[in-house]
Amino acid sequence: MDFAMELPGTYYALYVLNLGATETILGMIGFASFLVLAAVQFPGGYLADKFGRRWLVSSMTFGVAFCYILFAIAPSWHFILLGTVLMSLCLIYQPALMSMVADSVPSERRGMGFGIIMLITSASTTPGPLVAGILYNQFGLDLGMRIGYGIVVASFFVAAFLRLLLQETLISNPRRPSFNEIVRSYPVALKESFGVWKKLHPSMFYVFLSGVVGTFGFAAAQLYFVVYAVEELHIDKAVWPLILTVLFVTMIALAVPMGKVVDKFNRKVPILVAYALMGVAMLLFVYGDLLRLFIALVLVGVAQTMMNAAFGALQTDLTPRAQRGKVTGCMNFANNILMALGSLTGGILYEHVHPQVPFFLALLFTIPPFIITLALVHEPQKREE
């Protein structure tokens, strides 16, 4: 799935603009996507904790595969919008999948566990931009992207069948809820997801708060990396996949060492360093040339590797197993709301104010989460199993 998604992901923004969208419409598509994704996180987390993880993950992956067909055949950006919204509905399985991962990693090896997951993800993703570049050179932007999405559809169906082999990690005899149970679960899910914070270590709230604040800033710039690089910095479209590949190579190289550091020494310090590196990367990108873009993407890779290993381990340390679905759902809800607002804000700022402003906004929003983490987040004396 990771390899396949990175194929069209390399030129996604340019593809949508080529289908008649503007930068603001691109932001609106992101806004709609993350808004719908946020709406399904509460029931996703509640259902994962009440009925088990496996059924939700395996069944909804088939739904995502069908949604990508709309991306491959899209005659206009409206199909991208429809496909994105439907796919976000299917991603109700996210809290279940993330909880399944957390359940499966022992407390003393969590940094390494999340590091290895990052290693596998980065290794499988790395060829994606290079293949996307080959498709672009051979078939052009439009046909190359459609072929890329065709590969995504096929890959997701294969992944969906593989996920039927997953083993349940929470409940001995899980059952699938009926459609009526799913609908009726929403108000209960809301109540329990908000109420779960009273049962957690106080630092967990500040971990949550720092994460969502940083998410808003990064979301404002994320969609426009390739657009800014091509249109403002005049980087050749064929070179962009090479720049993007550096990001994944960096993450591969650091995944295991960073996991060991997180397990042996500290969870909090790598998170602080990650926020600082992300701020520097944004500054290099704004005033970039070819060399600075390579350096900026290396720094982003280092920051993401640190953040994923340390943040995932710390969140799991602070959250009891029986509450992980609800906590993940609640965090995903807030993150997606902020991603939605960030995407919309970034699009408006890029098109109507100045193309550099979304990146400065991303830089600015690394400061509050750094301060929150430094002052208010404390690692627990006893980690949750």
Q: What is the pLDDT of residues 286-298, one digit of tens each?
A: 998 889 999 999 9
**Angstrom distance (rounded) from CA 26 to CA 23:** 5
> How many other C-beta atoms lie within 10 A of the C-beta of residue 374?
14
* Residue 385 included in any domain: no
**Angstrom distance (rounded) from CA 46 to CA 340:** 22
Residue-wise pLDDT for 211-249, tens only, equals: 888 889 888 998 888 899 999 999 988 888 888 888 888
Long-range contacts of 112-115 (CB under 8 A, 24+ apart): 112/256, 112/259, 112/260, 112/262, 112/263, 113/259, 113/313, 114/259, 114/262, 114/308, 114/309, 114/312, 114/313, 115/255, 115/256, 115/257, 115/258, 115/259, 115/260, 115/262, 115/305, 115/308, 115/309
Per the structure, how many domains does the chain have?
Answer: 1
Average pLDDT, integer, range 142-156 = 93
Q: Using the predicted structure, report yes or no on whether residue 39 has a pLDDT greater than 90.
A: no
pLDDT for res 384: 66
* Residue 85 included in any domain: yes
User: Are the CB atoms for 331 and 200 separated by under 8 Å?
Assistant: no
Give the CA angle between residues 38, 105, 64 to the nearest 5°.
35
pLDDT for res 131: 87
Q: What is the chain's percent helix, strand, coil content, to nearest 5? A: 85, 0, 15
Q: How confident is the model at residue 3 (pLDDT cuts 50, 70, 90)?
A: confident
Distance between alpha carbon 314 and the CA centroid of its chain, in Å?
18
- Exposure on the CB side of residue 305, measured as CA atoms within 13 A: 28
Mean pLDDT of the residues in the chain? 84
Burial of residue 73 (number of CB atoms within 10 Å: 0-12, 13-18, 19+): exposed
* Residue 384 included in any domain: no
Q: How confident is the model at residue 364 (pLDDT cuts 50, 70, 90)?
A: very high
pLDDT for res 123: 67
Specify the DSSP class assigned to residue 309: H
**SS3 assignment, position 288:** coil
pLDDT for res 108: 65
Q: Say what the pTM is.
A: 0.72
pLDDT for res 370: 94
User: Is pLDDT larger for residue 355 or for residue 174?
Assistant: 355
Q: Using the predicted structure, report yes or no on whether residue 117 has a pLDDT greater than 80.
A: no
Torsion of CA 340, 344, 345, 346, to 10 degrees: 100
Q: Using the predicted structure, report yes or no on whether residue 181 has a pLDDT greater than 90.
A: no
The domain in which residue 116 lies consists of 2-376
φ/ψ of 105, rounded to 5, equals: -110, 120
Specify the DSSP class assigned to residue 198: G
Inter-axis angle of helices 110-125 and 290-318, to 10 degrees? 140
Question: 316: domain CATH number?
Answer: 1.20.1250.20
* Residue 285 included in any domain: yes
